[in-house]
Amino acid sequence: MRHQRRGRKLNRNASHRLALFRNLSRSLITHESIQTTMPKAKELRPFIEKLITLAKNAALALDEGTSVGKTRALHLRRQAMAKLGPTAGTGIWGKDGEQETDKQMDTVLKKLFNVIGPRFKTRPGGYTRVLKLHYRRLGDAGETAIIEFLKEGEIKVQKEGGPVAPAPAPVTA
């Protein structure tokens, strides 16, 4: 029994699972929206949200303007680099196969800390959304989903509860 064991194994050992999440995270940071299976998307969400929180906290530390803030931002960047793995400096490639030349986001780590982190400075959490797709994957019929970042200033739509059911009438005998 797996009582209180968090997370899905996804039929992979620990190192393969970590490599999977690192690759999915890099793709999500690069393209800001990716299509994958529903279980992978649900497991990727906490992994990527922790990275975004590191980037957000670094942006807030840099806003202080002190040397302590700069040191803290550097520490947070190194933590994210450790979590993203040894190829955290991989370049950002466009859909046409050309490498991005924008100095602000020429690597995944730079895009995370210069673009995505400051975007969510005022947001307390919930940076991604998972949208379930209606069709299944060809081959194994796995449920597919899109995981994407929220846009700047966008709020998640909460389902509003319907009218509350009336209290049951007292039973008289």
* Domain architecture of the chain: domains with CATH: 14-149 (3.90.1030.10)
Of 108, 119, 132, which is closest to residue 41 (Cα–Cα)? Answer: 132
Tokens of 143: 């449920």
Integer CA distances (angstroms), 126 to 36, 52, 123, in order: 19, 10, 8
Cβ neighbour number for residue 26 with a 10 Å cutoff: 22
Cβ neighbour number for residue 68 with a 10 Å cutoff: 10
pLDDT values of the chain reduced to their tens digit, one per residue, 173 residues: 888 888 889 999 999 999 999 999 999 999 999 999 999 999 999 999 999 999 999 999 999 989 999 999 999 999 999 999 877 667 777 777 777 777 666 789 999 999 999 999 999 999 999 999 998 988 999 999 999 999 987 876 666 777 777 878 888 76
* pTM over cut 0.95: no
pLDDT at 153: 79
pLDDT at 99: 75
